[in-house]
Amino acid sequence: MNCRSIAPVELQNRIWLCVGFEEKDEPLGHHPHFAMLYGQRDWLKVDDLYKAALDEFAGGHDVVSRVHSECILGDAFGSSMCDCGDQLRLAMEEMEARREGVFIYLRQEGRGIGLPNKLDCLALQYGFTDGHRGPRRYSSDEANIARGFSVDHRGYTAAAKLLKALRIHSVQLITGNPEKIRDLEGEGINVSSAIDLYTQGCSARAAAEIEEKIARGYIYQR
């Protein structure tokens, strides 16, 4: 695990610690994964940010955590085609309420296929192929398959390795995705519970995508 950079950042008038990281065998250039750490200490008053980051959660049990895959349209632009932006916001609000949390942001745009391919898949969902009107619309999962991809290309071992580097023993994971739980536990991070955070009244498009997730094995308590 390579820690690329570290800095306090202010989000909604609260100070978090941002850690840029990557796996040693997967250099990510100017776009590393990053983690937002929220803890009890004042990050602006520490002398050594690296040491403070390693000490803050050391030996921690049931640390509320979120492993979040990049979704620029949902996270930054509030797209109503998915619930990614809501998941990001709700997870960070939960961590602030508990005064503790690790939010891991993985560079896995489009479930791991990248932004250009994701846009091609989104076009299919609206009935366009290579910019031209096609015969029908596709669901989210159908679009991936039609473009030659599997439904989900992601893995989560990078997140597990970061949690291990922070010396966290167990987490309460904000997720409905059993693959995240399996990957973390496969790397030795115990997932003591899964937390389901959601907003009422999501769009019909987002609701349809959630139904596809449930069909693939996602588990929600809602």
Task: Give the residue numbers annotated as catalytic, written as ranges.
Answer: 152, 154
55 half-sphere exposure, CB direction, 13 A CA radius: 10
Tell me how far apart the alpha carbons of residues 121 and 101 are, in angstroms, rounded to a whole number. Answer: 33
* Sequence letter at residue 152: D
Q: Per-residue DSSP letters for the chain?
A: -EEEEEEEEEETTEEEEEEEEE-TTS--TT--EEEEEE-SS-GGG-S-HHHHHHHHTTT-SSEEEEEEE--HHHHHH--SSSSHHHHHHHHHHHHHHHT-EEEEEE--TTTTT-HHHHHHHHHHHTTEETTEE-S----HHHHHHHTT--S-----HHHHHHHHHTT--EEEEE-S-HHHHHHHHHTT-EEEEEE----SS--HHHHHHHHHHHHTT-----
* Sequence letter at residue 94: E
Q: In the beta sheet, which residues pair with residue 9?
A: 16
**Residue bearing tokens 């619930």:** 83
